Each structure stands twice: as structure tokens, then as C-alpha cells.
Amino acid sequence: MAKERTRKQKITRRAFIISGSIIGGGFALGLGGSLYSNARKRSFTGRGFEEGEALNPFIFIKPDNTIQLAIARAEMGQGVLTALAMLTAEELEVSLDQIEVIHPQVESPYANINLATNYQRTSSSTGFHFMEKVAYVLPYIATGGSTSVRDGYEHYQQLGASAKAMLIKAAAKKWGTEEQSLKAASGFVISDSGNRISYGELASLAAQEKPVDKPALKAKADLKILGKSQQRIDLKEKVNGTATFGIDVRVPDMLFAAVKHSPVVGATVLGINNEANIMALRGVKKVMYWPGGAAVIADNTWRAQQAANQLDLQLDTGGNESLSTEAIRKGLQERLSGEIDHVKDKRGNVDEAFQEASFLVEAEYEVPFLAHATMEPLNCTILVKDGRAKVWVGHQAPFLVSMAVAKEADVSKSDVEIDIKYLGGGFGRRAENDFIAEAARIAKSMEGTPVQMVWSREEDTRNDTYRPMVLSRFKAAVHEQGMVQAIENHIAMQSVLRSSIGRNFPLMTPPESQDTTAPEGAAHLAYAFERKRIGYSFVESPMRLGFWRSVGHSYNAFFTESFIDEMAFAINKNGYWLRHRLLRTRPRQLKVLETAIQMSQWTERLPEGKAKGIAFHESFGSIVAQVVEVTVNADKEYSVDKVYCVIDCGKYVNPDTIYAQMQSGIVYALTAAAYGEITVKDGQIEQSNFPDYDMIRLKHMPEVISYIMENDEDPGGVGEPATPPLAPALCNAIFAATGERIRSLPLSKHGYKLVKTSS
């Protein structure tokens, strides 16, 4: 079945971010859809590449036949460097070990078009999109939304194929022969007579050839690398300890900074009461503060941190000392009791259907605030000197880094050089500018000296940009034959989009009615609901919110997929039966669901205390079904024994990466479902470190059995889609085992204790 594409233009968080810069600058852009027709796509400096010849902004070839490949996407464990290198290597006819990946500077050719256009372009063949041109102007260099492969799939293939064609043309001219008599293999151009010449020898001649805009790509039957598991190119250095993360950066004569923020959410720092005492401590070089916090600069991280812990801050709390989880919940419940403010998915007369229904199913669900809890604490190293800034950091959005550093260090964006390091976890937290701005402010105060700023785990946990607390109320009329005659879903929350953009681009904060993250995963589902009314209402709060792995899908999947099971139970059916009925007109989705059922042996009889639960969800261009098998005893001790995970992500690159990302998404979601909860009391975040914001351990890890569907649909994302279905599948399994319906997370607050898996 051909993939359906939505052509309707929407104003999204990405549109607001990007259009804001354009509105202010007054750019006018010409059109052009091919790889090199737009001058901005060709314009680059080559900073970061070693001596060699550029065949396009992405491919440099060194004399020793090493291929340097520009990949402007953050590697945070998701395997993006390997995937994009595989796409290039396939068409360039080289092996992965011949490719050296370089993270380029913030320049136009490297923009993430798929993310900028809100996932509406997956290849160059789907036509012009205004935001594509805007993205090149900014330039919009960012990693998120499971877009890297979706954005780069055809693009990196074309880059490799175009470079190969240029090399063959150069060889043909050098040898005075026809191009048709030549072929490329293993980094060489080879003639029919057996003559061979390396890419490195041809590079200078090939660089003079005009790039081929739309080169022919290999047929699927001829692929040698794509679709076959490859060892990740970052694996060796991560195993042997030579990989450099942001926190590993060491440069000559550097100093170290630690920060302390107000313990009260949203308070303003007015001064430091004990600055003289702090300055007297060993190794301390400087103490400073700004409205959002304070810092100590010292000769090592330990001394800086110990001194920062002792800072006595003067605060203006702004009345936020009364903020609490209960007060926020009360506000959300009040919003749920009214009409939906912003209906985003509507069909038919829902109220009439409810009045005519023989019986109704109703339920209310809740999820708490969640922190990102990246394993590597937030950090950034910056040197401000002679009107320039050099930045060493692991970050998901280098274009935001350049903007923040330019502003705080008072330099031009073109004079900001960024060295992107490996990320020890991102999940959306490392797409924020708060810690970058602080590091730049600190470095500017020590101009001429590089300073590494590191947040402690406590500062990280208490000053995160959290996933929101959300309540959702459902009402449905369900016929015993499996027809959902009408469904209403009212979501109450604080806006993630408005919170995030409000921090970074206040003038571009979208109106409430144009929020795209609040209803994602709840509206426009594949299920055949006869009548529906789905939307959201917002509350305001000083809590800082941000994009957490899978964003709105992470909570809306829990709500919807739990309620699907509740509707099934109301008509004496199981969760699979009702989902099958609701997907009967969607063969691609139905195939994923059926595959999960077959893999998990859904109908097998299990011993007492064991049960299975199912969930199905689409996100980021991919379809995922999961079946969770649990063991639960009378004391509410439970183990997650197996998770069966089926993904349809269309055309895929590296199966090994997909399997790893399915496991990763499941681990992340299981931790949140079992333990995850950020609470507020007296205006302060109550959690501070892993002892009170717990993570699952290796002993809790279920056996994960994953399967990748085979088809030629457009590529979908894999970094986030495994996260949303886990919590509802787990809670549905617990209901099947115990009869207790879990409508709020985490499970720990219902007395459930996660124990060692029995598998």
C-alpha cells in the first residue's frame, strides 16, 4: 500500500523557530529542488576537513584514498554516523572502514530538512516545501525527531553516486576512454582492460567536474551494504575508551566551573551573600551570578563544585514557593472538567452518539513530570579570545549553540567554531540552550582562558526541562461487535512547545491553538473510530518543559492504548481483538499487529501470575506493536520477562542499529513506567539524584525479541518509536495478571515493585 502523505501546511514548533529568524532578516529565496540548484546548498568553508579535494560539501577525498564524510548529526548512541556513512559507501563503492566521519560547522548544506519541514519531506522526489528553503538560510543543523535517516536516506545515496560519477568522468578523460567502459569498486576506478586508479589519485581532477544533480541509484538487488548489519564505526573507540565525549575535553590552561541555581522553581538570583568566603577557598578563581543562577570558577572541577555547593544565594522567589504537584494537578483537573479548548481531530456528532449509546466507557489517566536523566551530566567547554569563540560540546542543535554563544560572548556567529563531541545521552535535553548560554557567559568573564562548565547531577535533575505532567479523560460508545461509535479524548497539560520556544525565541512563541506536540499520538490515529473529538486544553505554570524522548507520543500512547484495552474489556474481548477490528481497513498497520501476535504466541496458556499485554502505536514515520509478558505475585512484585517488538520503518539501513534502538527505547520507557516521577513541594523539585530518581538495573532487563518488517515504503525513524508502546503494553499485562487497572504512572506509587526478571 502506498504511503499516505499529508500536504496540508501546518505551523509547527520548527516552523516558528525557523520563520522567526527569516522574518527578522528579510531574506528572499529562489526555488529549486535538486541537490545543488540552490547556492546555499553548495556554500561551505570546509572547516574541520583535512587537506583533500571536495567533490561536494559532504565528501572530501584525501591523497591516501581516505574518504572524509561530513555528517552534521549528533551521535548519541543511535548509530546515525554509521547509517549515513553506509548510505554513502553503498553508492560510492567503498567500504565503511575507508570512511572517516567529520562533524562540519554550522553551514547551509548540512541543514536537517526533514526536521525543519515537520517530517513532510522524506526524499528529494516529494517536491518543494517553503521550510526547506528557510532551513538552508538559518542554517537549521539539528538532530531530533528520529529524522536523521529519514532526512538523509536518499540524500546521502545521491551524494555518493554523484561523487562516483565525477570520479569515473575524470578517469575517462585521463585515460582517453569512454565512461561506459569503466566501473568503480573498493575506492578505485577500473577499466575493462584491468587498469585501475585510486579515488585519491583522481580526486583533484574529479573535483573539477560538474556534480550530477540526480544520479541513478542502485537497484535493491544490487545493494551490498544497505539492509545488512554492519559494525558501528564509533564502536571501537567507545569500547577501548578513546572516544571523546563533551565531559572528556581537556585543552591547555583550562579552568573549570560549577553552577548553582535557585532551589525554588522560577526564582531570580539577586546576589551572593558569602562571595568573600567562597573566593577565599583553595583553587577558586572567580565567583559570578546572573538572574538564573551563579557559578564558581576554579582550577579543577572538584574544587569548583564544592565551592558552588556552599554558595548562599539571595533570591526573589516571585511567589513560586507555593508551587506544588498537588496544585498543578488541581489546575489540570479543573481544565478537564470543562470543554476542550482546542479540538484537533473531529468527525461526526460525538454528543449525539453518546446520547444514543446503550452504554459508555469512561476513564481518566495521568502521567507525572519526568526528567531526561542523561548519563553524561550537562557540560560545555568554551574559549573566548580575540573576538572569536571555540566551543567543545555534545549537543543536538549546533545552530542553537552558535546563536547562544554569539550572543553571550558578543561575537559574530561566523566567528563561533563548534567541535561537536559524542553525547552521553540526549533524549531532547541536549537540544536546549540554557547550559550553553551559561557556559558562554562564564567563558566570556575569563576571556583568553578556556573554561569547562559541568552541572552536577543534582543541578541537572532539579533544573531539567521536564516532560510535562498530563491528564487525559476519555469517553467512548462501543458496540459489542467492535465498533467504536464515538470517542472523546480531552488532554490537559502545560504546553511543551510554548515553554521551549518561549525560552529560546520569545517573539516566535506559537499561539495555543497551533501546538503540534500536545495532540501527537492522540489525534489522527489509524484506528477506525466512527465519530471522534480529540483535543487539548492548557494550564500555565513556572515549570520549564522540554522535548523528552518521543515527546507527545510518550504520554498519549499510554493514554490511548490503555483505553483501547478498557474498551475491549467492556465488551468482553481482549486487546488484540479490538485493535484488529479497528485496523481492518489499514493493511500495513494490521500486518504489524498480526506479526506481533504471531511472534508472541498471544493465545498460549500461561501459568498463574503470568500474563501478556499489547500496545500498538505509530510515531515518527514508523509503526510499532509490542507485546509484554510479565510475572506478578500477590505482594505486587513483578518482573518484565519478555518484550516482543515489531517495527515497520519502511526502507532501512542497518538492522543491528534498529535492534539496538528497539532495546534502548524499551529500557528508557520501562524506567519511566516503573519509577519515573518528578514532584514539586514548596516550590522545589524533591528529587536530586539517582537514589531518588531511580533507573532500572541490568537484572530488571527483559528479553527483547525484535522483528523488522520488510517493504519499500519511505524510511521511518527508529530512535523514538519503541518508547511509546511499552508503558501501555506493560500496564495492560498487569491488568491481565491481576485485574487491577493502572491509570497513572509510575507503577511504584501503586505499590508495584520491579524485581529480577524470571526469564
Strands (E), 402-479: 416-420, 451-454, 470-478
508 vs 217: CA distance, rounded Å: 40
How would you classify residue 411: left for phi > 0, otherwise alpha for psi between -120 and 50, otherwise beta? beta
Percent of the chain with pLDDT over 70: 93
Is pLDDT at 19 greater than 50 in this prediction?
Answer: no
608 vs 630: CA distance, rounded Å: 11
Average pLDDT value for residue range 448-473: 98
Average pLDDT value for residue range 488-506: 92
pLDDT of residue 45: 84
117 vs 380: CA distance, rounded Å: 29
Q: For residue 368, what pLDDT band results from cuts at 50, 70 and 90?
A: very high
Q: Which of 460, 463, 250, 256 is nearest to 375 (CA)?
A: 460
How would you classify residue 312: left for phi > 0, otherwise alpha for psi between -120 and 50, otherwise beta? beta
pLDDT of residue 49: 83
- In the beta sheet, which residues pair with residue 453? 257, 380
Give the up-direction half-sphere exposure of residue 304: CA atoms within 13 A in the CB hemisphere.
26
Q: Which of 157, 145, 220 is nearest to 621 (CA)?
A: 145
755-759 contact pairs (CB < 8 A, 24+): 755/637, 755/638, 755/639, 755/700, 756/639, 756/699, 756/700, 757/639, 757/640, 757/641, 757/699, 757/700, 757/701, 757/702, 757/703, 758/631, 758/639, 758/641, 759/639, 759/641, 759/642, 759/702, 759/703
Cell numbers describing residue 285: 578563581
Lowest-pLDDT range of 8-17, 42-51, 576-585, 592-601: 8-17
Q: Which of 378, 368, 369, 385 is nearest to 401 (CA)?
A: 378
Owner of C-alpha cell 498487569: 734
Q: Which residue intervals of 425-511 are DSSP H helices?
A: 434-445, 457-462, 496-504
CB 283 within 8 A of CB 303: yes
pLDDT of residue 42: 62
Three-state DSSP at 729 gives helix
Q: Which of 151, 113, 119 is nearest to 620 (CA)?
A: 119
* pLDDT tens-digit map of 78-134: 999 999 999 999 999 999 999 999 999 999 999 999 888 876 654 444 444 567 877
Q: For residue 13, what pLDDT band results from cuts at 50, 70 and 90?
A: very low
Sheet (strand 59-61) strand order: 53-54, 59-61, 67-70, 99-102
pLDDT of residue 119: 67
Angle subtended at Cα 78 by Cα 73 and Cα 81, rounded to the nearest 5 degrees: 45
Average pLDDT value for residue range 498-503: 91
Number of helices and strands in the chain (H, E): 21, 28
Domain ranges of the chain: 13-222, 246-318+378-454, 325-369+466-754
Average pLDDT value for residue range 424-428: 97
Is pLDDT at 714 greater than 50 in this prediction?
Answer: yes
Q: Which of 641, 603, 634 is nearest to 738 (CA)?
A: 634
* pLDDT tens-digit map of 594-653: 999 999 999 999 999 999 999 999 999 999 999 999 999 999 999 999 999 999 999 999
DSSP result, 576-608: HHHHHHHTTT-HHHHHHHHHHHHHHTTT----T
Q: Which of 693, 294, 262, 143 is nearest to 467 (CA)?
A: 693
pLDDT of residue 50: 73
| CA distances (Å), origin 58, targets 103, 135, 187, 601 | 10, 17, 17, 47
DSSP result, 614-636: EEEEEETTEEEEEEEEEEE-TTS
Three-state DSSP at 705 gives strand
Is pLDDT at 572 greater than 90 in this prediction?
Answer: yes
Sequence-ordered list of residues with C-beta below 8 angstroms from that of 590, at least 6 positions apart, any chain: 580, 583, 584
CB 613 within 8 A of CB 575: yes
Q: Is the dihedral of CA 642, 648, 649, 650 positive or negative?
A: positive
Is pLDDT at 546 greater than 50 in this prediction?
Answer: yes
**What is the phi/psi pair of residue 10, to 5°?**
-125, 145
Is pLDDT larger for residue 153 or for residue 5? Answer: 153
Average pLDDT, the chain: 92
Owner of C-alpha cell 478537564: 336
Fold of 246-318+378-454: Aldehyde Oxidoreductase; domain 4 (3.30.365)
Is pLDDT larger for residue 4 or for residue 555? Answer: 555
- In the beta sheet, which residues pair with residue 391? 382, 418
The secondary structure element, H or E, covering residue 61 is: strand 59-61
Q: Which of 225, 212, 202, 214 is nearest to 91 (CA)?
A: 225
Task: Decide if 13-222 and 246-318+378-454 have a common fold.
Answer: yes
Query: Which architecture does CATH list for 325-369+466-754?
Result: 2-Layer Sandwich (3.30)
Chain-centroid distance of CA 658 in Å reads: 15
CB 658 within 8 A of CB 674: no
81 vs 97: CA distance, rounded Å: 13
pLDDT of residue 37: 44
Residues found in the chain: 759
Is pLDDT at 10 greater than 60 in this prediction?
Answer: no
532 vs 111: CA distance, rounded Å: 38
CATH ID of 13-222, from 3.20.20.60, 2.120.10.30, 3.30.365.10, 3.40.50.150? 3.30.365.10
Average pLDDT value for residue range 143-154: 95
Cell numbers describing residue 502: 518561549
DSSP result, 218-278: --GGG-SSTTS----TTHHHHHHT---BGGG---TT-EEEEEEE-SSTT-EEEEETTHHHH
State the angle between helix axes of 13-25 and 496-504 in degrees (0 to 180), rounded to the nearest 10: 30
Is pLDDT at 199 greater than 50 in this prediction?
Answer: yes
Is pLDDT at 547 greater than 70 in this prediction?
Answer: yes
Side chain identity, residue 214: K
* pLDDT tens-digit map of 548-564: 999 999 999 999 999 99
Q: Which of 80, 141, 131 is nearest to 110 (CA)?
A: 141
Q: For residue 691, what pLDDT band results from cuts at 50, 70 and 90?
A: very high
**What is the phi/psi pair of residue 673, to 5°?**
-65, -35
657 vs 663: CA distance, rounded Å: 10
pLDDT of residue 134: 78
Is pLDDT at 316 greater than 60 in this prediction?
Answer: yes
Beta pairing class for 360-367 and 416-420: unpaired
642 vs 628: CA distance, rounded Å: 6
Three-state DSSP at 742 gives coil
pLDDT of residue 17: 36
Predicted TM-score (pTM) of the model is 0.93
60 vs 206: CA distance, rounded Å: 11
Instruction: For residue 491, give the DSSP letter.
Output: E
